[in-house]
Structure 1
Amino acid sequence: MQGVGAAGMAGISMPSDARAVFFGAVAGASDGVHQAMVVTLAGSSSALPGTELGSVKISPLSVFPDKGRATKGVRCHKLRASEDEIALAWVGPGPVRGATAAGKPLTLPAPTDKRDATGTPPSAPVAALGGAIGS
């Protein structure tokens, strides 16, 4: 979508039953100090939120193309057999940090340069993601 409805910004049209899992802006792949990272959390749409581990994948923003493939998009996470959705995503300056719903820090998997790889199960369900302060 582009034009008056998008205020001149290019975007995408989504089906009525789709939902956005992240929205934000990143200045570039690196600010000279911190590398921008893409984090995706895959899971099952039939699981109760906050109860399943799913799988987390962290990749540098630089491994993703600047432009998508027309209306086909760019795959960011290969789903496992038990997964059917990206439940949570985040893009921002690394290093990436994760937390549980109780605010406890999580150990997240190491970043991978494969933009469409499967993820790794975290040590506990991920409720929040962020990065870069006092790294």
Structure 2
Amino acid sequence: MLYKDNRKELSQGYKTTTNNRMELTAVIKALEAIKKNSIKVTIYSDSKYVVESVEKGWIWNWEKKNFKKKQNIDLWKQFIPLYKKFNIKFIWVKGHAGIKENERCDELANLAQSSNLINDTGYKV
């Protein structure tokens, strides 16, 4: 996370989960770490799942239908109130393309995979 001249890095590894759950969890954890409400937030992500779900408005249709037959309902239900607290813009970036901050996020994710793994309690097979 970057804010003015400040940097905060967050990471956590999980047992038994999916890449989409981890991408969405990363966004949720970042938003939870922001102390000020109603600020502009730009989220750069290489996850088309997360970016398009929000930017194309899919989550609002899913919410209207009570997330029927959708995955990661628990996470989307955590995300929505956080989304409403801020003025958020998502920007998709190509993964593994040498984008400095995206590469750093990948490094953190890889490090997290090998230490202190916790259960992803919302994951359903």
**TM-score range with shorter-chain normalisation?**
under 0.3
More strand by share: 1
Higher RCO structure (Cα 8 Å, ≥6 apart): 2
- TM-score normalised according to structure 2 size: 0.25
Q: Going by fraction, where is helix more abundant, 1 or 2?
A: 2
- Report the TM-score when normalising by structure 1: 0.24
Larger radius of gyration: 1
